[in-house]
């Protein structure tokens, strides 16, 4: 099939490449000229395991193309996926849909034969109705069908998640579009993905409801970890004990820093904003948002306590600064509030991240980037393990850290407190 992905970010690029790998002809469009030029040269704009090889393979065999020309790309394709950003609006909790509506206007001015227009971006319920209205101002409704097909991939696991999804959700009442899309996804369905056809509005809401539920799970276990710290119970035992119950499940039940990233923070806010518009109070999700927003200050209090209230001039090393491992995405990472706070208190921050130096911290005089773990940790008073990269799981701290009074604060619980005790390392973790 001939597909066009509008927006070549985490979702558009990954799904475009994977669709081309399944044998489709795909044009990935972006308004960012530099990004498109780089992609044509084989330079991948994001860190995503396995992505570069897959891009190269499909670009070489001509199934995958990159372009900045939206009109031409749309006219050459039968199925158009909208994959642009839907960030939180400034000074609001609602989703900013300007990128979506701009694209819808452009699509409207381009269509001359039947196209399926799909929102893969996460959009509030009823956005599909609005897209349909915008496009139908310029072209007859017979020439297009607007479908919701939310994307559930996780950064860091994106290719695997796309190729082996738990489910494919297609929100449309149009039988013809449903048949075409079921066919498009048939290679994934034959590998075990469940195919669910719902109304367009239901598909839009399934995405938000899923993200809000996962954010709730994380926040739930994070709050229980706070209790465990007071009662000499290890939160890891609680996570395992709860997770073994199949009704609950162990995934997203690991205590750690505040959830971040490009989805949970904005999507939890956007779903409550939508509900507010309909005078429905999603009080559980609202309290999840509040609890998560408090989480970083709570962890910072713990950091201050570990340093006996003497943060000034302390050398603090962060291992990992992105919002989670296996991604370079800094959006809403808890480090974005924690590091500036500690700098303000006079700490000297050194950090290492496997995905490299981050622009976010360049403006701080007392924040430096180290090119490897050894350099990052060697002079530290406190080492904060902020993300769960495999690279951080077997560090010989005793050998690597020169300052023998160093402390470790493991925010991902990747080391065994018992082993650390045996090694006589001052080790602190979450919920323990
Ligand atoms: N990142 C994830 O893990 C993830 C997972 C599932 C769903 N989503 C959702 O998918 C959507 C996209 O997220 P993302 O992380 O890929 O965003 P992103 O910011 O990485 O990419 C969006 C891209 O769209 C481009 N763009 C914007 N307007 C355009 C236009 N008019 N024409 C062409 N290109 C345009 C931007 O230049 C950018 O490259 C969001 O709604 C997000 O919530 C994201």
| Distance (Å) from CA 11 to ligand 1 centroid | 6
Q: What are the tokens at 192?
A: 């075990």
List residues near ligand 1 (CB under 6 A).
6-12, 29-32, 35, 70, 83-86, 99, 102-103, 121-122, 151, 153, 155, 262-263
Predicted local distance difference test score (pLDDT) of residue 4: 98
Atom 24 (ligand 1): residue with closest C-alpha? 7
Q: Provide the angle, in degrees to the nearest 10, between the axes of the packed helices 33-40 and 51-60.
A: 70
Q: Closest Cα to atom 1, ligand 1: which residue?
A: 10
Atom of ligand 1 nearest to the CA of 84: 24
Catalytic center residues: 263
Atom of ligand 1 nearest to the CA of 158: 3
Please give the pLDDT value at position 159.
Answer: 98
DSSP string covering 309-346: T--TT-EEEEE--SSSTT----TT-THHHHHHHHHHTT
Per-residue pLDDT of 196-205, as tens digits, reads 999 999 999 9
Helices and strands, counts by H and E, the chain: 17, 14
Protein residue with least CA distance to atom 4, ligand 1: 11
Q: What is the pLDDT of residue 8?
A: 98
Ligand 1, atom 31: closest residue by C-alpha: 103
In angstroms, what is the span from residue 20 Cα to ligand 1's centroid? 19
* pLDDT value at residue 161: 97
What pLDDT shows up at residue 276? 98
Atom of ligand 1 nearest to the CA of 35: 39
pTM of the predicted model, to two decimals?
0.96
Q: Which atom of ligand 1 is nearest to the CA of 32?
A: 37
pLDDT above 90: percentage of residues in the chain:
100
pLDDT digits (tens, 9 = 90+) for 135-171: 999 999 999 999 999 999 999 999 999 999 999 999 9
User: What are the start-end ranges of the H helices in 199-263?
Assistant: 200-231, 235-243
Compute the distance from residue 242 Cα to the ligand 1 centre, in Å: 35
Class of residue 415 by CB neighbours under 10 A (exposed 0-12, middle 13-18, buried 19+): buried
Residue nearest atom 36 in ligand 1 by C-alpha distance: 7
pLDDT at position 305:
97
Ligand 1 center–CA 409 separation, angstroms: 34
Can you tell me the distance from the alpha carbon of 242 to that of 235, in angstroms, rounded to the nearest whole number?
10
Q: What is the pLDDT of residues 244-274, one digit of tens each?
A: 999 999 999 999 999 999 999 999 999 999 9
Q: What is the pLDDT of residue 191?
A: 96
For ligand 1, the distance from its centroid to the CA atom of residue 269, given in whole angstroms, is 18
What is residue 419's DSSP assignment?
H
What pLDDT score does 244 carry? 98
Report residues of the chain scoring pLDDT below 50.
none
Beta bridge partners of 167: 194
């Amino acid at each position: 099939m001939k597909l066009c992905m509008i927006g070549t970010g985490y979702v558009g690029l990954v799904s475009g490449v994977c669709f081309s790998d399944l044998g489709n002809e795909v044009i990935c469009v972006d308004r960012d000229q530099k990004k498109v030029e780089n992609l044509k040269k084989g330079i991948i704009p994001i860190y995503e395991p396995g992505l570069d090889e897959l891009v190269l393979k499909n670009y070489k065999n001509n199934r995958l193309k990159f372009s900045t020309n939206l009109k031409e790309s749309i006219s050459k394709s039968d199925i158009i996926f909208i994959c642009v950003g839907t960030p939180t609006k400034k000074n609001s909790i609602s989703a900013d849909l300007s990128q979506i509506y701009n694209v819808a206007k452009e699509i409207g001015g381009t269509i001359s034969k039947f196209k399926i227009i799909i929102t893969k971006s996460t959009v509030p319920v009823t956005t599909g109705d609005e897209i349909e209205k915008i496009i139908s101002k310029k072209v007859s409704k017979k020439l297009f069908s607007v479908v919701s097909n939310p994307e559930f991939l996780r950064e860091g696991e994106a290719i695997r998640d796309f190729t082996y999804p738990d489910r494919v959700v297609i929100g449309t009442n149009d039988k013809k579009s449903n048949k075409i899309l079921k066919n498009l996804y048939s290679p994934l369905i034959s590998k075990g993905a469940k195919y669910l056809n719902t109304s367009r509005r239901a598909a839009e809401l399934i995405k938000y409801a899923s993200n809000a539920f996962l954010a709730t799970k994380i926040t739930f276990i994070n709050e229980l970890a706070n209790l465990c710290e007071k009662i000499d119970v290890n939160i890891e035992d609680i996570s395992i004990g709860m997770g073994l119950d199949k009704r609950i499940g162990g995934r997203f039940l690991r205590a750690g820093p505040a959830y971040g990233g490009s989805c949970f923070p904005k999507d939890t806010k956007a779903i409550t904003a939508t509900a507010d518009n309909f005078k429905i109070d999603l009080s559980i999700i609202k309290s999840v948002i509040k609890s998560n927003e408090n989480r970083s200050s709570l962890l910072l209090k713990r950091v201050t306590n570990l340093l006996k209230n003497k943060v000034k001039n302390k050398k603090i090393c962060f291992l990992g600064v992105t919002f989670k491992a296996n991604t370079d995405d800094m959006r809403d990472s808890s480090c974005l509030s924690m590091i500036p706070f500690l700098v303000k208190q006079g700490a000297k921050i050194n950090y290492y991240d496997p995905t490299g130096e981050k622009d976010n911290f360049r403006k701080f005089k007392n924040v430096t980037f180290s090119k490897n773990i050894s350099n990052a940790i060697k002079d530290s008073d406190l080492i904060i393990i902020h993300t769960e990269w495999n690279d951080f799981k077997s560090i010989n701290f005793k050998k690597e850290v020169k300052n023998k009074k160093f402390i470790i604060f493991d925010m991902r619980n990747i080391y065994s407190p018992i082993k650390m005790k045996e090694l006589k390392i001052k080790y602190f973790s979450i919920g323990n």
